[in-house]
């Protein structure tokens, strides 16, 4: 209970601050620290800003009323009326500056503290019918002496002057295709600024129709864009998301923009502008592994081969392999030439190992270069390595005459043959001798 009483006492002694009411304004009615009172009708106004207030043109004068609310500005503020095209302005260019302080304006339901900026400008007697844009720039300071600035745009519409023979001209500027070219099979955004080049004419109900000569650039939504209205000298930024056909020809293509609009009393205008943009097919070069034999010998010839495959949809041109391997080759090149989409070419090179090349591992590279259909060059470097071995001297060995393995048996054969021949003779003689001895001879 004591805690509750203590809290109530604090609330009585120190009531909470009331939240400040903040009015939210559309962008057209707000500029930095300056706001337009959009709800009230001031002197020389026929309607409030929220209902489409416009400067009034009557009896040879133009009146502008700009009720400004600012919670930051102190003291005086200065307003300058600046024509978009001073040389075409239908009013006298004197008295284009207003200076004043905040004042209280009473209304039936509330009082407003405003800087009531007003201009009354004399119109030229030979003025021409049309819409003449201008802006009012505001300058002031806050309590700390810091500068405050703001700006609001208006149109002076002349309908009681001479006939305006100017036909508005809408131009396309700052065209962008999202890069240097349109990539086939991908999406991008085509963007540009559409500007009303007229000095005195507004245009309304603007449409922009987009097309491409081969139907290869396809809008993701509609091919017609509604751009609204443009006052004299105004421009609008337009973006068109598109998809490029996968099989689009790799060549220059024509982008066409047809602008239609209305102006004046039911008059219409049509303007067509064409731009050229390149479509490029995806170029994708693949290759087999780049490698030398694991071992090479001083003075011998070594070979190298690599398969080059065009996996894209655009021709690869002037494919060239350049070798830099210490002890084997330095600057030698092999031209593989052009490779059609989907085709494979084998690049082969033979080079002699230096007879005096240092032994051991040698490391180098092969650089692969090629061009696309537009002459743009590409490059890829791949490592190479091998081991150089010493070339051993070539020794010619004398051939020894092979001995007949049977020669060693010849003496024994001769001896055996002798025994075979002489033994019968010897036996015969011994027999005769015994026979004679028996006879006593």
State the DSSP H helix or E strand holding residue 130, giving kind and residue range, or none if neither: strand 130-141
Query: Two tokens at 125?
Result: 């007697």
Question: Residue-wise pLDDT tens for the chain (441 aa)?
Answer: 444 444 444 444 444 433 333 333 445 566 678 999 999 999 999 999 999 999 999 999 999 999 999 999 999 999 999 999 899 899 999 999 999 999 999 999 899 999 999 999 999 999 999 889 999 999 999 999 999 999 999 999 998 999 888 889 999 999 999 999 999 999 999 999 999 998 888 999 999 999 999 999 999 999 999 999 998 889 999 999 999 999 898 889 999 999 999 998 889 999 999 999 999 988 889 999 998 898 999 888 888 999 999 988 888 999 999 999 998 877 788 999 999 988 999 999 888 888 888 999 999 999 999 998 778 899 999 999 999 888 887 665 555 555 566 666 666 666 666 666 666 666 666 666 666 566 655
Please give the Cα distance from 158 to 80 (Å, whole number). Answer: 21
Q: What are phi and psi for residue 7, nearest 5 degrees? A: -65, -40
Task: Please report the domains of the chain, with CATH numbers, ordered by start residue.
Answer: 25-158 (2.60.40), 170-280 (2.60.40.10), 285-389 (2.60.40.10)
| CB-based contact 261:205 (threshold 8 Å) | yes
CA distance 61 to 341: 73
How far is the C-alpha of 67 from the C-alpha of 118, rounded, in Å?
Answer: 8
CB-based contact 202:131 (threshold 8 Å) = yes
Closest CA to 214 of 185, 249, 182, 243: 249
- Alpha-carbon separation of residue 392 from 140, 280, 299, 395 (angstroms): 96, 56, 11, 9
Model confidence, pTM: 0.60
What residue has token string 């139907």?
A: 215
- Give all strands of the β-sheet with 267-280 in edge-to-edge order: 182-183, 267-280, 252-263, 203-212, 224-230
pLDDT at 11: 42
| pLDDT for the residue 355 | 86
Q: What tokens does 282 get?
A: 């995806």
């Amino acid at each position: 209970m004591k805690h509750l009483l203590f809290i109530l006492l604090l609330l009585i002694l120190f009531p909470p601050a009331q939240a400040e009411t903040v009015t939210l304004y559309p962008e057209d009615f707000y500029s930095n620290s300056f706001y337009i009172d959009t709800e009230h009708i001031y002197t020389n106004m026929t309607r409030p800003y929220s209902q489409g207030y416009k400067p009034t043109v009557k009896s040879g004068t133009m009146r502008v009323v700009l009720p400004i609310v600012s919670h930051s500005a102190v003291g005086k503020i200065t307003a300058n009326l600046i024509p978009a095209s001073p040389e075409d302005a239908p009013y006298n260019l004197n008295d284009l500056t207003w200076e004043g302080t905040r004042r209280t304006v009473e209304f039936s339901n509330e009082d407003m503290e405003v800087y009531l900026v007003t201009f009354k400008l004399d119109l030229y007697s030979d003025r021409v019918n049309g819409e003449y844009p201008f802006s009012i720039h505001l300058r002031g300071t806050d309590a700390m002496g810091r500068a405050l600035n703001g700006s609001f745009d208006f149109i002076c519409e002349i309908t009681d002057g001479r006939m305006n023979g100017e036909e508005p001209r809408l131009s396309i500027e700052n065209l962008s295709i999202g890069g240097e070219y349109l990539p086939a099979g991908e999406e991008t955004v085509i963007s540009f600024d559409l500007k009303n080049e007229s000095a005195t004419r507004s245009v309304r109900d603007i449409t922009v129709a987009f097309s491409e000569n081969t139907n290869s650039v396809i809008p993701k939504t509609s091919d017609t864009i509604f751009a609204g209205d443009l006052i004299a000298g105004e421009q609008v930024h337009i973006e068109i998301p598109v998809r490029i056909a996968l099989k689009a020809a790799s060549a220059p293509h024509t982008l066409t923009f047809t602008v239609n609009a209305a102006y004046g009393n039911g008059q219409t205008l049509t303007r067509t502008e064409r731009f050229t943009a390149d479509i490029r097919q995806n170029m994708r070069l693949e290759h087999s592994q780049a490698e030398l034999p694991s071992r090479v010998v001083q003075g011998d010839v070594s070979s190298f081969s690599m398969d080059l495959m065009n996996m894209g949809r655009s021709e690869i041109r002037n494919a060239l392999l350049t070798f830099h391997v210490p002890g084997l080759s330095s600057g030698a090149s092999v031209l593989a030439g052009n490779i059609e989409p989907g085709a494979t070419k084998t690049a082969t090179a033979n080079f002699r190992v230096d007879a005096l090349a240092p032994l051991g591992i040698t490391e180098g590279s092969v650089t692969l270069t090629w061009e696309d259909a537009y002459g743009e060059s590409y490059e890829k470097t791949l490592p190479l390595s091998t081991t150089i071995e010493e070339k051993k001297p070539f020794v010619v060995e004398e051939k020894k005459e092979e001995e007949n393995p049977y020669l060693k048996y010849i003496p024994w054969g001769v001896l055996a043959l002798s025994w075979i021949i002489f033994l019968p003779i010897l036996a015969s003689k011994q027999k005769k001798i015994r026979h004679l001895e028996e006879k006593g001879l």
